[in-house]
């Protein structure tokens, strides 16, 4: 059984779905109704779920971590993410994305080189990310360093990235399964334009 938890922390609502001490889905929003709607969209359609009666310690910890990531903080805690509900390619892409650290972004194309497939396929995997913030799909941008898409809106993506800027100046490489994933400092990302909205 998947248990759903949500809480208002500061000005935002954060939500998590847990199954057997594993994170299945997350969501955030400015309204309670919207956060529940987003969370339910991320919960596997054929899995039984219920609202958790009382927040578990893992639920509280995860909700706090979501807020911390949203605020641009670097969390050290690693979460047990339930990937069994994801198609194999999407799971592969999202697992590789976990390597992108705070302060950096990568591109759809760079991620495709590490995972196989095309930049478009990577973009589709990002668009269906059931665990936003914990799996940082906001750290993937277009090859020209324009912001790209984001299910919560490009302004929100831009704000999160600005909070994650650590002042890095040079690109970096990270070896992931024998291939180099190119990382770019957040400061390389172009501010969204009116057309991106």
CA 189 – CA 142 distance, rounded (Å): 9
**pTM reported for the whole predicted model:** 0.94
The sheet carrying 22-29 orders its strands as: 22-29, 12-19, 2-9, 49-51
Residues 62-102: pLDDT tens digits?
Answer: 999 999 999 999 998 889 999 999 999 999 999 999 999 99
Q: Span 1-25, mean pLDDT? A: 96
Q: Is the pLDDT of residue 194 over 80?
A: no
Structure tokens at 94: 């999202």
Does the annotation mark 137 as catalytic?
yes
- Catalytic residue, candidates 18, 27, 137, 183: 137
Q: Is the pLDDT of residue 195 over 90?
A: no
Please spell the DSSP secondary structure of 49-78, one letter per residue. Answer: EEE-SS--HHHHHHHHHHHHHHTT----PP
The C-alpha angle with vertex 60 and arms to 162 and 57, in degrees rounded to 5, equals 140
């Amino acid at each position: 059984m998947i248990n759903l938890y949500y809480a208002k922390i500061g000005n935002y609502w954060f939500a998590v779905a847990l199954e057997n001490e594993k994170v299945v889905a997350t969501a955030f929003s400015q309204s309670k109704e919207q956060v529940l709607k987003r969370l339910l969209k991320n919960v596997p359609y054929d899995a039984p779920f219920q609202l958790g009666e009382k927040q578990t310690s893992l639920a509280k910890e995860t909700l706090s971590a979501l807020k911390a990531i949203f605020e641009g903080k670097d969390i050290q805690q690693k979460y047990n993410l339930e990937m069994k509900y994801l198609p194999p390619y999407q799971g592969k892409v999202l697992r590789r994305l976990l390597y992108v650290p705070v302060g950096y972004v990568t591109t759809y194309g760079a991620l495709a080189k590490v995972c196989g497939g095309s930049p478009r396929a990577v973009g589709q995997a990002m668009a269906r990310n059931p665990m936003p913030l914990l799996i940082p799909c906001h750290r993937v941008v277009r090859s020209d360093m324009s912001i790209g898409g984001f299910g919560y809106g490009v302004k929100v993506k831009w704000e999160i990235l600005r909070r994650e800027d650590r002042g890095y100046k040079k690109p970096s490489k990270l070896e992931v399964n024998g291939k180099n994933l190119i990382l770019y400092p957040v400061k390389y990302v172009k501010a969204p334009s009116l057309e991106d909205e």
